[in-house]
Amino acid sequence: AKKMATPETAFDLLEDLRVKSMSYASKELEDLKEYAKANGGPDDLKHWDMPFWAERLREAQYSFTEEDLRPYLPLPAVLDGLFSLLNKLFDIEVKPTTQNLEKPHPDVQIFDVFRDGAVIAHFYLDPYARPAEKRGGAWMDEVFARSSLFGSEPGTCRLPVAHMVCNQTPPVDGKPSLMTFREVETLFHEAGHAFQHMLTKVDCGLCSGIRNVEWDAVELPSQFMENWCYHRATLMSFAKHYETGEPLPDDLFDKIVAARTFRAGSMMMRQLHFATVDLSLHSAAHFDPESGDASKIFELEQKVAEKTCVVMPLPEDRFLCGFAHIFAGGYSAGYFSYKWAEVLSADAFGAFEEAGLEDDEAVKSTGRLFADTVMGLGGSLPPMEVFTKFRGREPTTDALLRHSGLVAASA
């Protein structure tokens, strides 16, 4: 797949994040050891001990579960909040369609998207789990792309149509679908993809919407939208108890935000390890696949681990044999794309932070620029050019590190 980054810039990004995150990961390991020892755990944590004690530490620090949040996140209210945010950011309206359109299932909802009073797109939302006929997970895809070739009349364009599919709990016993916070994040994520497709201003169907967008840039709008779930005013605008109307308690919101950065250094280093091993295996400067010596693959992984792991993998570790992302999942020489997209999306959200998240006019102005560039230009221009049109410069890692709570480690 096409990439926005070159091998050199990808390695540079991974090294920049590694240098700025390693000290944080080391401290998290020491904190975990101290907590385990103080609570009856072993003096020397082994690889297999760490997930257990990390979860115990998370529970001790934040003491809430997804089930505690469900009553405050009914789907109808979440959709209203999402559509209100889209209106503020992109000056659009989302309304249930009044057209008599066929639905693939009664649960499916169909919406029209308006700008300046005119319909510019449509989308299908299939929110509920149906295990007998739907695969798990969540995704977005196109039905039609905007295209001047298929307009109903000369000089017109076929409007873009998208679909979003989720797998949350359906309404039960008169109660609305009550969502977990992770499901809310997922809905916002898929909406980012869908509205990039629908808000395109490109008339050429081959590069409008999500088409022709480089692999490592396609997640920018989706991850950007997730950030709004952690914005107090946005979340509180719809997070209200489905029975009493009481808002989400402040202490729960604070725990949600704090939990976002739990062991962020360790999680960062884990992803950097995977990405660096992947790039190295696909780089002639680091690995020769013609050597005929399979053991060199694992030697390379151990060499990378010396720089990326606070706990070295066991000598017997054969994780690479099951690393399906890079051997069967389309991410060969591209696993870094996850971090690259996080850098782009965090930096994009940083523009709103700099403008002032509580300044509605500044948010609207910045949102219109985001709509005209990142959301509007699709694959019609190289993604770095699109990003710089929005941000006025190339991306930096500063916002991602700040959002991850790693600023102190990078100082």
Quote the tokens at residue 375: 């959301």
Q: From the candidates 28, 142, 183, 190, which is the catalytic residue?
A: 190
Contacts of 56 (CB under 8 A, 6+ apart): 35, 36, 39
Provide long-range contacts, Cβ within 8 A and 24+ apart, for 384-390: 384/4, 386/217, 387/217, 387/220, 387/344, 387/348, 390/348, 390/351
* 145, 156, 224, 285, 370 from 199: Cα distances, Å: 11, 16, 15, 42, 11
Contacts of 91 (CB under 8 A, 6+ apart): 115, 364, 367, 368, 371
Contacts of 38 (CB under 8 A, 6+ apart): none
Residue 99's SS3 state is coil
Residue 190 annotated as catalytic: yes
Nearest CA-CA partner of 94 in 102, 106, 103, 82: 82
Q: With contact defined as beta carbons under 8 Å apart, do 60 and 161 qualify?
A: no
Cα separation of the two ends of the chain: 36
Segment (H or E) for 264: helix 264-281
Residues that are catalytic: 190
